[in-house]
Amino acid sequence: MSHEMFLGLYVFVLAAFVGYGVIGGVPPLLHTPLMAFTNAISGISLVGSLVAAGAEHTTFSTALGFIAVLCSSINVVGGFLITDRMLKMFRKRGGKNA
């Protein structure tokens, strides 16, 4: 296994623990927005798709990249917007919005 791959494993395991800790602190009240939020963040596969769509290696790879960018950008843009739409609805007694 390459050195980069091992470094990647360190990063993955540490990030999973950080994620477990941070997300464990999210109250059940916000679990639906949380899911929409992490959905938007996982749209980070844009990073891979953009290169595939813009590199023009082969028609096949460009076409796959094109569809992947389409899917990822729906998730990123839609995910952030819908999370915000939900969070705006949460208000405390007295009418002040979150």
Partner 1 sequence: MSMTAELLYFLASVLFIIGLRGLGSAETARRGLLISEVGMAAAVAGTLLHPDIVTYKWILISAGVGSAIGIAMAALIPMTKMPERIALSHSFGGLAAALVGVSEYSLHHQTVAHSTMGALGFEVLFGGLTFTGSLMAFGKLQGFIPGRNITYPFQNQSNIAMFAGTALLLVLLTIWPSVQFFFYLMFFVAMVLGVLIVIPIGGADMPVVISLLNSYAGLAASATGFAIDNNVLIIAGALDGASGFILSVVMSRAMNRSFGNVLFGAFGKADASAVAALAGSQEIHEATIGDAAMLLSSGQKVIVCPGYGMAVAQAQHAMQALAERLEAEGIEVKYAIHPVAGRMPGHMNVLLAEANVPYDQLKEADEINDEFAEADVALVVGANDVVNPAAKTNPSSPIYGMPVLNADLAKTCIVLKRTMNPGFAGIENELFAMPNTVLVFGDAKDTLEKISQALA
Residue 9, Cβ density class (10 Å: 0-12 exposed, 13-18 middle, ≥19 buried): exposed
Q: Residue 3 CB, nearest distance to partner 1 (Å)?
A: 10
Q: Which residue has the tokens 């096949």?
A: 60
With beta carbons less than 8 A apart as the criterion, state whether 32 and 86 touch: yes
Output the six-digit token pair for 66.
């094109």
Report the site for partner 1 in 54-93 (rule: CB under 8 A): 54-58, 60-62, 64-93
Report the site for partner 1 in 4-43 (rule: CB under 8 A): 4-5, 8, 11-12, 15-16, 18-20, 22-43
By CB under 8 A, how many residues form the interface with partner 1?
A: 84
Q: Residue 30 CB, nearest distance to partner 1 (Å)?
A: 6
With beta carbons less than 8 A apart as the criterion, state whether 82 and 74 touch: no
With beta carbons less than 8 A apart as the criterion, state whether 22 and 37 touch: no
Q: Residue 27 CB, nearest distance to partner 1 (Å)?
A: 7
Q: Residue 95 CB, nearest distance to partner 1 (Å)?
A: 8
